[in-house]
Structure 1
Amino acid sequence: MKKTICVLATMDTKGAEAGFLAERIAAAGCTPLLLDLGVVGEPGTEPDISRAEVASAGGQELVEILKNPTRQGAVPIMIAGAIKILLERLARGEVQGVVGLGGTQGTPTCTQIMQALPYGLPKVMLSTIASGDTGPLVDIKDITMMFSVGDILGLNSVTRMVLGNAAAAVCGMAQHGISLESAAGNRPLIGMTNLGVLTAGAMHAIDCFHGAGYEVIVFHAVGSGGRAMEQLMKEGVIGAVFDYALGEISDELHGGFRAANPERLTTAGKLGLPQVICPGGTEHIGLMAEKPGLVPEKYKDSISTFHNPIVFVPRLNREEFSAVASEIAKRLQHTKGRAIMMLPLGGTSRYGVEGGELEDAAGDEAFFATLKAELPSTIEVQALDTHAEDPAFVEQAVQNLIGLIEA
């Protein structure tokens, strides 16, 4: 059965290019489905899903929009309509990939639509701005950004080549035959967070989970990683959690670059998923140095180290670290059970262990005392007299989570 690839474009300004892209999709053995995101001009290529259909699905008729057409007014309607149409078609198994064309206007429009689509669905964005900061465009979804080289304005030898590559890319993604399914059968996929200062422990945890017949997906807890993990929980892909690294909470509270969002650490509890939590990597924050090896003036008198030449890592003082504990406890108030907080009393990362660059036993003691005092009673607390990367600590964490899953 042929795979259907939806082409997102404004057919008034990108009609010829969208038409050529559709030809290349067909040549690659897939069926193109052209969706028109334009509003004012006449389509240069006849779409399969008209702008009128998109606007209506978005909550307003096109004729009403055209009475006073503005980008600010029209774009949100067209985005909402395209999302509604695509989600309905996805539910019916009628779309297997999406590719968008755009510049400074079309790119954010197309990628907002793509961000609303499920993980695993191929998403390719051919864009004039793909070589810049694409963070807001990709966010936490599996969107492939592709630089168009020239403007997407007229067909020529370069644009035909690039459009052909985009078609081949999205069709290849749709045809490779690997779906988003756990290799562990009926057992839930386990989501696990990690930081570089915990990697030895994370690798041991993966081996232990695999040995017990569970599949694990690891997320780098630098803001986007934690948010992606929690989105996969919401979409039903992840069914259990080993939240090994909570540095995103510290950075959000104290201005580091690993900050996630206020929802971080609340999702598993709200969904009732089994979770084992460890405050790994919370004793420090991550900051980008202005120059390699340059300690910021604010932290001249702080305990600190460099994670690499440009990532500066200051230790949180006692009050700051205790504030992180309070914030963790606050976010876990949603958790009504099936949760264990494990406290590595010998250090929350390799930096904080005895003899480590960020060792501060008094600060650790205050942090753990605050957590114990403020965590909800629905969360079991286990304090181990060792550090977070100790194999014995990790093995206990793995056993705890499997016990919660299989209870």
Structure 2
Amino acid sequence: MSSIYVIGTCDTKYDELKFVKDTVETSGVPALLVDVGIKAHGNEVDITNKEVSACHSFDKDFLSRVEDRGEAVSLMAEALQEFLKQREDVAGVVGLGGSGGTSIVTAGMRVLDIGIPKVMVSTVASGNVAPYVGPNDICMMYSVTDVAGLNRISKKVLSNAANAVAGMVSFKKDKVDSEKPAIGMTMFGVTTPCVDAVRKQLEKDYDCLVFHATGTGGQSMEKLLDSGMLSGVIDISTTEICDLHMGGVMNAGEDRLGAVIRTKKPYVGSTGALDMVNFGAKETVPEKYKDRNLHVHNPQVTLMRTTPEENRRMGKWIAEKLNKCEGEVRFLIPEKGVSMIDAPGMPFYDPEADKALFDAIEDNFNQTDSRRLLKLPYHINDKGFADELVKNFLEIINN
């Protein structure tokens, strides 16, 4: 029988964790108390910290060796990830802790599939939670008081968390309404006409999941691809690669396109919004970029036009990634512009910079029967380009 895993450091948070476990079980859902503390104690748990630590991929006895707390916390986070990967009875997870406990428990949560309930009660949940959540469906709940004893406030918060995860498990939707295969699509504001046109042509037969290419958007799409929840991808807006290379704020990391390589699923990609790097308010743009072509998108977002040299670097990076793909790949280049503001009369119109990008992709791209590059005489938001994306996707999804 599947259970809700109640996870935390039982050397410091035992009473609170036991309270959550008891509350979950009162709702009628089985629960297991999992200890990820780094110190010995005499509290009764269902799964000990030594059982978890023994799952570490190369340092199974670190609890008896490591004295530095920071190192031990990092190793326990890695061990919890491996532990949870091996379990087949995880109905949901609820964790609680301070900064250390949060880093351990959310690391474990991040390896679980999208859709498995995950609730983290944390003292740091009212700040920047991106490092803890990443591209995952983790619910962060601020503890209000420190997780240090049971009191009139903590009992209410912990009860809410316990009942929330129990409700998610008890009333989960096993079967989605749509039996249509799901596909991932990436969109940015400046590629919206293209994405909308593609989606409208495909949504009758496919469940189109559109991801905003904000860094976590691309990561979320690829996590779903890795999880087997997507049948293929139409990656129109690869702009996150700009931020990876130039230090923008919407960086999806070095593993962008990694899931496409690993899963070998059908992939149609393009160069959407590779003309721009994203920063915050204008005053936050790094000093080295102050004299560049900047466009204030709104008071919180400033865009920087990419140069020919930067585009050559990105083009080579993209081609080298795609060359590792063993599945069906079609990469389409819109020769007349890659975004709304990369068009005649618009602030980022720069045919020389675009050509540098396109040439670098073409020069480094290894074409095969299954991996093809197409250069098309369209702007990315032209209807003809959307039609070509759809045509190529349907050709490879049905292979």
Q: TM-score, normalised by structure 1?
A: 0.89
**Secondary structure of 1:124's aligned partner:** strand
Aligned to 2:383: 391
Cα gap change, 1:314 to 1:68, in 2 (>3 Å): closer
2:279 is matched with which residue: 287, 298, 301?
A: 287
Q: Structure 2: which amino acid aligns with 1:32? A: A
Q: Separation in 2 of the partners of 1:305 and 1:67?
A: 54
Cα gap change, 1:148 to 1:337, in 2 (>3 Å): closer
Aligned to 2:132: 137
| Contiguous gaps of at least 5 residues in structure 2 | none
**Secondary structure of 1:354's aligned partner:** coil
- Note if 1:109 corresponds to 2:113: no
Q: Separation in 1 of the partners of 2:175 and 2:380?
A: 31
- Of 79-88 and 102-111, more deviation after overlay is shown by 79-88
Aligned to 2:350: 360
Cα gap change, 1:70 to 1:43, in 2 (>3 Å): farther
Aligned to 1:200: 193
**Contact 1:40–1:69 at 8 Å: present in 2 too?**
no
Q: Separation in 1 of the partners of 2:385 and 2:320?
A: 25
**Secondary structure of 1:341's aligned partner:** strand
**Contact 1:266–1:334 at 8 Å: present in 2 too?**
no
Cα gap change, 1:61 to 1:306, in 2 (>3 Å): closer
Could you list the per-position Cα deviations for residues 78-121 of structure 1 after superposition, in whole angstroms to 9, with x for gaps in the alignment?
A: 4454444433332xxx2200001101221111111112222211
- Note if 1:152 corresponds to 2:147: yes
Residue correspondence of structure 1 range 6-405 to structure 2 within 5 A: 6-44=5-43, 46-58=44-56, 65-66=63-64, 69-72=67-70, 74-76=72-74, 78-90=76-88, 94-179=89-174, 183-185=178-180, 187=181, 189-211=182-204, 213-291=205-283, 298-299=288-289, 301-336=291-326, 338-378=328-368, 379-405=371-397
Could you list the per-position Cα deviations for residues 264-292 of structure 1 after superposition, in whole angstroms to 9, with x for gaps in the alignment?
A: 1243144322111110000111122354x
Cα gap change, 1:61 to 1:177, in 2 (>3 Å): closer
Percent identity of paired positions between Structure 1 and Structure 2 = 34
**Secondary structure of 1:190's aligned partner:** strand
**Secondary structure of 1:159's aligned partner:** helix
Q: Separation in 1 of the partners of 2:65 and 2:119?
A: 33
Q: Structure 1: which amino acid aligns with 2:356? A: A
Q: Structure 2: which amino acid aligns with 1:71? A: R
**Contact 1:15–1:43 at 8 Å: present in 2 too?**
no
**Contact 1:191–1:242 at 8 Å: present in 2 too?**
yes
**Contact 1:101–1:127 at 8 Å: present in 2 too?**
yes
**Contact 2:238–2:274 at 8 Å: present in 1 too?**
yes
TM-align CA RMSD: 2.5
Q: Separation in 1 of the partners of 2:199 and 2:390?
A: 9
Cα gap change, 1:354 to 1:72, in 2 (>3 Å): same
Q: Separation in 2 of the partners of 1:19 and 1:202?
A: 49
Q: Separation in 1 of the partners of 2:326 and 2:81?
A: 34
Cα gap change, 1:336 to 1:3, in 2 (>3 Å): closer
Q: Structure 1: which amino acid aligns with 2:195? A: A
- Of 76-85 and 6-15, more deviation after overlay is shown by 76-85
**Secondary structure of 1:286's aligned partner:** strand
Shift of 1:13: 1.6
Q: Separation in 1 of the partners of 2:175 and 2:341?
A: 36
Could you list the per-position Cα deviations for residues 38-90 of structure 1 after superposition, in whole angstroms to 9, with x for gaps in the alignment?
A: 2434245x21222343334447777x834765434543554454444433332
Q: Separation in 2 of the partners of 1:182 and 1:204?
A: 24
Shift of 1:142: 1.6
Shift of 1:321: 2.2
Cα gap change, 1:207 to 1:84, in 2 (>3 Å): same
Q: TM-score, normalised by structure 2?
A: 0.90
Shift of 1:297: 5.9
Q: Separation in 1 of the partners of 2:179 and 2:252?
A: 29
Cα gap change, 1:15 to 1:285, in 2 (>3 Å): same
**Contact 1:120–1:179 at 8 Å: present in 2 too?**
no
Shift of 1:384: 2.4
**Secondary structure of 2:276's aligned partner:** coil
- Of 215-224 and 299-308, more deviation after overlay is shown by 299-308
Q: Separation in 2 of the partners of 1:221 and 1:144?
A: 21
How many residue pairs match? The answer is: 396
- Of 350-359 and 65-74, more deviation after overlay is shown by 65-74
**Contact 2:226–2:262 at 8 Å: present in 1 too?**
no
**Secondary structure of 1:350's aligned partner:** coil
**Secondary structure of 1:245's aligned partner:** coil
Cα gap change, 1:302 to 1:84, in 2 (>3 Å): closer
Q: Separation in 2 of the partners of 1:267 and 1:68?
A: 34
Q: Separation in 1 of the partners of 2:265 and 2:7?
A: 36
Q: Separation in 1 of the partners of 2:91 and 2:187?
A: 32
Q: Structure 1: which amino acid aligns with 2:299? A: P
